[in-house]
Structure 1
């Protein structure tokens, strides 16, 4: 298998010319020609494995096994001399995929499932285009390739050579009918959504077809056949790589640093050689500098007042007064302040996007003004964190509160990269690349946490006057041992709430809370015993069942 012939394009920072788009597998190797022996083995094996792991199963160890299959398939298909094997991004996604899969085997959480799915897709994207750096472009490249892989495999199928002309003709027209059938399915879905009577009639027809197939093949149903088709499409996207050059071509025009430019092109554009400004250009820069200096000066003064109020009010000895609506204070204030921080970062990116980075007469003043503004926004982010902390301290933990904590971590990282842009003339592309990696790291960190159990332990404290027992009972089953260990606290809680039937919340009695807890435990144990397969049995679920079996 050979590489594509590169199309040379200039690359910034004095680096050697690299292809604008390069895929490690040529069309003749993985698409145009018949499948290789390795692909012929991996494709049906992947379909069988996908069906065995996921049919009628939830996420758990099966995700780890399939992630290992995807990684193994890429290592088998990628030549040892391929460029992608020297890419740090490729190995980062290999490690991230296996780590997130392991967290699925341990907890089976939604965050772990999202992290594993994103890691596998980005892994395929970097295999497709090894020069890619932006994780978002890798994700989109993988989706574009996977969408084309299944149809390419079907289009490349050939009838056996030893058959007659009638068989080959039937094979040809059978493949030709795939497009009309696809169009038919698309219009069927549209008509079913638009016409309820048609939807009911088609549902009845599908039930009759399903009953016939069940009589013909007792172990196969329409849903199962569709699931097998899904497994084929997923496996084809893993095994057959269709080169997608769009995002690699686009990224090849980006640079890590800003250079002087003659035209009015943002920092994402290809960098041009430096030049001398004429009087008109210098005048334009002077006007832009005055506008930037005015903005930074005025907002610094305004933000200084806001930060002084917050530091005096929130940072030292804040105690909410009786009747103070802490929920509204946190929710409205947090969202508005976060928006203001993001807006501030956007304004800095706007003014430092072009040749103003090289305006020698006013650049030091502009840099220091922007730096002070960034630091003041960091102080504002600390105030947002304190608002979130006070809510957690007085009202307990929730998913949004944890989300705000991690979002603030990303905000501090983003403000740090903005400082790099100010002082190192980094481009917007550089900031997007760095912050995308930070988002991915936070996603892996979220996948590694047993957040529901930690939230339940924190919220079940005697200092809270209200316990939302409905919220805790709605969490995954691994929180049940924690709830059973705090039965006495539930009985003594001043107030217990749960979600009302028609929305909102209602106060319930301790006896009702205990009854709901017993019902939740019984239902969870029954569901666990009714699904004995190992595919979806996480380590946390196994440990929970052991604890519930010995508890009273």
Structure 2
């Protein structure tokens, strides 16, 4: 099916492809991602009618706000989370534009991805030869024959003038030489990877500007409701009958038996969970101090993952029992809800214990990306437990819970995108109270944290054990002097890369501030000497701007 392009699309499609190639070819993401995002958002909004249904969608407005916010955060910090949030937000915007009635975040992303698969073939069909091709070919052949005569005469007179006039011949030779050199330079710039990259930009721009309606996910979502409905055709009879022991387990259970099973599960596991919570509260909630030789890593890593898994299993069990008609079992619904509520609250207490385990690891071992990720996951866990309570007391459906938790996950993604985590990690870990510091981890982080590391480099001499991972996977201890050398080499290499490889396209405020700080404020004369030496060892220019 052919989708005719509007005049605006015919203008913006090649412009977007050229802009993508110009901004991103051999560049890191920074200001360029914000500029391209603004172009796509502007083009999409310009193509929407004033009274389009998508303007009434709160999900579209939230995704649009998140796109602008995350794009600005990319230009501010350039962190991976900010880039991910920007791409996800833009895809959500395109998904909601395609199907304004969508609510699920995942379905909006899948709709945007499906539109990419359909927009490219729709674009290719624009170059299909139209009908009555033979008539047009005859017309082209007719005008081509007319051009053959003047072109032939031009070549003839050029040859005659070249033979008759030496100066004309020299001027013509110079012209063809310049033309040949220019064409050679043009063809040198054309490479297969660059051409493929340009085609990628064209495909992405087409997927944003050409909206091919995809109704599959919207139709599938329309089948779900916000609340559980009673399904009378699935309610078993309450009449007394002989048990069929040959039947599959739980296959013929009526609501009363399912209620007793659920009550038993909630009662027994609540008791077990109460014991676990009492142990955690008395052990780690107040005044926890690891004993000498205590394996804090195992205590946090394995214990955290197992406890998080138990919380997820608990949430799955509640969803299973409250999936259908047990929500309407009047004789025992009150006690069932109370038991499930106590279980949810106890799982929230368990989540707090997991957070404390993570806190003690940070307190004694330092901060890392995974520790921050655990807290982000715990925020989603607590929110998910809150939605489980909605399901228990308001008969919310699983669809409602997925919708709410997906929005919460998107909110946490934007929250994480707003953090300058590398600087905060470096600032926290460079404390003399720590016995061990993974210096290799800090040196492998983005260069925007280097001013923080240079400012506190004196702390390296006060930490007894400095570690660095080796290419073979082992961990080596390094001396303070060797740590200073590695730091100077890292600074020298990053400064050289920033000066030679970065451009305004990949500009970020954090990197620009770090470069300015390393050059003009935070480098002492001794540090400058170290960095000059490191530059010389790396074969780089030794000059440093003052």
Name the TM tier (shorter chain). Answer: 0.7 to 0.9
- Match for residue 287 of structure 1? 257
Partner residue, 1:16: none
Is 1:330–2:300 an aligned residue pair?
Answer: yes
Q: 1:353 — aligned with what?
A: 323
1:45 aligns with 2:12: no
Larger radius of gyration: 2
What SS does the corresponding residue of 1:463 show, helix, strand or coil?
coil
Where does residue 353 of structure 2 map in the other structure? 383
Q: 1:360 to 1:529 in 2, by over 3 A?
A: same
Does residue 105 of structure 1 match 2:75? Answer: yes
Matched with 1:87 is 57
Measured in 2, the distance between the counterparts of 1:214 and 1:348 equals 70
Please give the alpha-carbon distance, in whole angstroms, between the structure 1 residues aligned to 2:15 and 2:90.
18
Cα distance in 1 for residues equivalent to 2:44 and 2:434? 52
Q: Cα 1:421–1:98, aligned 2, differ >3 Å: closer, same or farther?
A: same
**Which runs of structure 2 are paired with 1:386-405 in the superposition (5 Å)?**
386-405=356-375
Match of 2:387 in 1: 417
8 Å contact kept, 2:236–2:253:
no
Equivalent position SS for 1:97: helix
User: Offset at 1:493?
Assistant: 1.6
Cα contact 2:30–2:74 (8 A) shared by 1: yes
| 1-structure distance, mates of 2:488, 2:138 | 64
Distance between the aligned counterparts of 1:167 and 1:112, measured in 2? 52
> 1:146·1:241 contact (CA, 8 Å) conserved in 2?
no
The corresponding residue for 1:198 is none
Q: Give the Cα separation in 2 of the matches to 1:415 and 1:141.
A: 29
What's the TM-score once normalised by structure 1's chain length? Answer: 0.82
Change (3 A) 1:521 1:280: farther
**1:157 to partner: Cα distance:** 2.1
Match of 1:505 in 2: 475
Does the Cα contact within 8 Å between 1:456 and 1:483 map onto a contact in 2?
yes
Q: Secondary structure at the match of 2:198?
A: helix
**Counterpart in 1 of 2:45?**
75
1:127 maps onto 2:97 in alignment: yes
User: Residue 3 of structure 2 contacts residue 122 of structure 2 at CA under 8 Å; is this kept in 1?
Assistant: no
Deviations, residues 86-120 of structure 1 (Å, cap 9, x unaligned) = 11111111111111110100111110111001001
Q: Which runs of 5+ in 2 are unaligned?
A: 141-182, 241-251, 525-546
Is 1:492 the counterpart of 2:451? The answer is no
- 1:300 corresponds in structure 2 to 270
- Are 2:507 and 1:537 aligned? yes
Partners of 1:67 and 1:101 within 8 A in 2: yes
Extract structure 1 runs of 4+ deviating beyond 6 A.
Answer: 160-164, 213-216
Structure 1 residues 347 and 163: CA distance shift in structure 2, 3 A: closer
Gaps of 5+ in 1: 1-30, 171-212, 265-275
Q: State the distance in 1 between where 2:332 and 2:441 align.
A: 56
Match of 1:430 in 2: 400
Match in the other structure for 2:161: none
Partner of 1:462, secondary structure, is: coil
Distance across 2 between alignment mates of 1:165 and 1:539: 59
- Aligned counterpart, 1:208: none
Q: Write the deviation string for residues 442-475 of structure 1: whole angstroms up to 9, x where unpaired.
A: 0001111000100000000011011111110000
Shift of 1:169: 12
TM-superposition CA deviations, 1:325-383 (whole Å, max 9, x none): 10011000000000000000000000001010000000000000000000000111111
Tell me how far apart the structure 1 counterparts of residues 239 and 49 of structure 2 sit (CA, whole Å). 55
Structure 1 residue 369 corresponds to structure 2 residue 328? no
Whether 2:417 is the aligned partner of 1:458: answer no
- For 2:290, what is the secondary structure of its paired residue? coil
Q: Is the 8 A contact 1:214 1:221 kept in 2?
A: no
* CA RMSD of superposed structures (Å): 2.1
CA distance in 2, matches of 1:64, 1:479: 22
For residues 249-290 of structure 1, what are the alpha-carbon distances to aligned partners after superposition, in whole Å with 9 as ceiling and x for unaligned?
Answer: 1100000011111245xxxxxxxxxxx985359971101100
Q: Does the CA contact (< 8 Å) of 2:31 and 2:505 recur in 1? A: yes
Q: 2:263·2:336 contact (CA, 8 Å) conserved in 1? A: yes
Deviation at 1:168, TM superposition (A): 9.1
Cα separation, 1, equivalents of 2:253 and 2:407: 39
Alignment of 1:157-306 (within 5 A): 157-159=127-129, 167=137, 217-264=187-234, 278-279=237-238, 284-306=254-276
Number of residue-to-residue matches in the alignment: 469
8 Å Cα contact 1:255-1:427 kept in structure 2: yes
Greater shift, 136-145 or 33-42, is seen at: 33-42
Q: Check conservation: 1:214, 1:220, Cα contact below 8 A.
A: no
Distance, in Å, in 2 between the alignment partners of 1:390 and 1:78 is 52
Cα offset, 1:504, TM superposition? 2.5
- Cα shift readout 1:38-70 (whole Å, capped 9, x = no counterpart): 111111111011111111110001111111111
1-structure distance, mates of 2:350, 2:336: 21
